[in-house]
Amino acid sequence: MGHAAIASTLLDVSAAEEPAGPVSRQERKQRTRQALLDAALDLLADRSFASLSLREVAKGAGIVPTAFYRHFSSMEELGVALVEETTRTLRGMLRGARTEQRGYGGMIRASVHTLHRHVREHEDHFRFVTRERYAGPGAVSRAIAVEMRMFSSDLALDLARFDPLRTWPTEDLHLLADLIVTAMLGTVAELLDIRPGDTAADERTLVAAEKRLRMILLGVPHWQP
């Protein structure tokens, strides 16, 4: 629970905690905002976004319901902010994966590995995105769709640097990228379904993910319009 989430209660004896940074006005506001996001993500661990109430999130962040509106005009807006937060994580992952690339084999292994690491490191974010991706109309799903398209485009750009793919039409390149992204997302969903301790299941899932990617890429050298 939000360990006093900034939001001073009447008696906040919160003595130490943190180097007690500068408590400027906007700084405090931003902290509460973050507390709201954190609380939402926390509650989202085993529920869908649609079933999340403004009051719950506010309570989780340690503020009164009406104060919620000082930060977001609606739950939907908070949801979009959550998507943006997740995006930063994803971009970081892509950047990391971009550095090391040799042939196909090495790239597949490395990609799956970094994906695994990031999923385990930010389970809540990934769970949120995979859950809400197809959750129906609404700003959240739309924001996710946009983000996924960007992600896929980035991947297509990266793929274009490989030898047999250099000459592909961009359309086919995007198709391949979508295929890979979709397969990866499936892997993410599988990983998130594994119960916490089971490292053997993790390993099995990763092997399956590598195989899946290899299957997809096997056809690449034989492709023509």
Partner DNA sequence: AAGTTGAGTGCACAGTCGTACACTGACTAG
Partner DNA sequence: CTAGTCAGTGTACGACTGTGCACTCAACTT
Decide if residue 65 touches DNA (CB under 7 A). Answer: yes
Q: How far is CA 175 from CA 114, 129, 139, 189, in A?
A: 23, 21, 25, 21
- CB neighbours of 182 closer than 8 A, spacing ≥ 6? none
Decide if residue 169 touches its own copies (CB under 8 A). Answer: no
| Given 167, 175, 198, 201, the residue binding its own copies (CB under 8 A) | 175
175 vs 9: CA distance, rounded Å: 53
**Residue 47 partner contact from its own copies, DNA, none using kind-dependent CB cut-offs of 5 to 8 Å:** its own copies
**Ranges within 137-166 binding its own copies (CB under 8 A):** 137
Other C-beta atoms closer than 10 Å to the C-beta of 209 total 23
**Ranges within 11-50 binding DNA (CB under 7 A):** 23-29, 32
**Residue 11 partner contact from DNA, its own copies, none using kind-dependent CB cut-offs of 5 to 8 Å:** none
What are the tokens at 47?
A: 């529920």
174 vs 156: CA distance, rounded Å: 6
Mind giving me the DSSP string for 183-199?
HHHHHHHHHHHS-TT-H
The distance of closest approach from Cβ of residue 175 to its own copies in the complex, given in angstroms and rounded to an integer, is: 6
| Given 14, 48, 66, 182, the residue binding DNA (CB under 7 A) | 66
Q: Which residues bind its own copies (CB under 8 A)?
A: 46-48, 50-51, 130-131, 133-137, 172, 175-176, 178-179, 182-183, 186, 189, 208, 211-212, 215-220, 222-223
